[in-house]
Chain A
Amino acid sequence: SQQGEEDPQALSIQEGENATMNCSYKTSINNLQWYRQNSGRGLVHLILIRSNEREKHSGRLRVTLDTSKKSSSLLITASRAADTASYFCATAGANSKLTFGKGITLSVRP
C-alpha cells in the first residue's frame, strides 16, 4: 500500500517545546504532504515536499524527507496551545492518487 503511517499515534508536550512527528511509507513517491486537522474541521494543507527535496521550511514548520529510508518528519518549533490538532501525512506515487495516513494527535499543554 502507498499509505503513509504516522508515528507516534499521540503526542503530548508543553507549550514552547518542539514537536516531532514521523511518517513512513512503502513505495516510491512523487511528493509527500502534511496536513493539520483541528477538532471538528476539515484538513488544512501545511507543506509539500517533493521527492528530490530533502528539507523544507515554512514558518515554525520544518519537514525533512529521506527517500532512502522512505520516511519524513514534521517538526513544529516553539509549539503553542493553538497547535493542538491532528496531523496527517499524505503520499502519492507517479501513478497513484494522494493517500492519507491515520494521523497523529498532538496536544500542547499551556
Chain B
Amino acid sequence: EAQVTQNPRYLITVTGKKLTVTCSQNMNHEYMSWYRQDPGLGLRQIYYSMNVEVTDKGDVPEGYKVSRKEKRNFPLILESPSPNQTSLYFCASSPSDSPYSNQPQHFGDGTRLSIL
C-alpha cells in the first residue's frame, strides 16, 4: 500500500530534550515536506526536499533541522525543543523534483508533539 509513515504518532517531552520525528514514504517520490498545523493558522511549511541531499527552508524553519540521506526518508529534528513547538506535524511527499510543479501531495497521519 502506498503510504507516508510517521513515527511517533504522539510524544510528550520536556524543553531542551532533542527529538527526532521520522518520515518514510514507499512511493519513490522525489519531493518531501514537513508542515505544522496549529489552530487558526492552518498548515505552514517547515522544510522541504526536492531530492536526496537537497533541502530548503519553508515558511517557519526556525528551531528545526532536516536531512535527506535516502530518497524514502526525511526526518525532522528538534535539537532543543521549546513549548512553542507544541503542534501537530505532518510529513508529505509528491512525485516531483520541483516544489513548483504543484503535484498532489500524499500526507502521513501526523505526529502530535507536546513540549512541556
| A43 touching B100, Cβ below 8 Å | no
Residue of A nearest to B45 (CB): A97
Answer yes or no: B2 CB below 8 A from chain A CBs. no
* Least distance between B100 CB and chain A CB atoms (Å): 6
Which residues of B60-116 are within 8 A (CB) of A?
90, 92, 99-100, 102, 104-110
**With A92-B102, A96-B100, A97-B100 as contacts: A44 and B42 at CB distance below 8 Å:** no
Residues of B whose CB lies within 8 Å of any CB of A are: 4, 35, 40-43, 45, 48, 58, 90, 92, 99-100, 102, 104-110
**With A40-B110, A97-B99, A97-B100 as contacts: A45 and B105 at CB distance below 8 Å:** yes
Residues of A whose CB lies within 8 Å of any CB of B are: 3, 30-31, 33, 40-45, 48, 88, 92, 94-103
Interface residue SS majority, chain A: loop
| B102 touching A102, Cβ below 8 Å | no
Query: Out of B48, B100, B106, which one reaches A45, CB within 8 Å?
Result: B106
Bound complex: CA A30 to CA B96 (Å): 15
* Least distance between A64 CB and chain B CB atoms (Å): 19
Residue of A nearest to B109 (CB): A42
Query: Out of A30, A40, A44, A103, which one reaches B107, CB within 8 Å?
Result: A44
Interfacial chain A residues near B99, Cβ < 8 Å: 97-98
* Least distance between A4 CB and chain B CB atoms (Å): 9
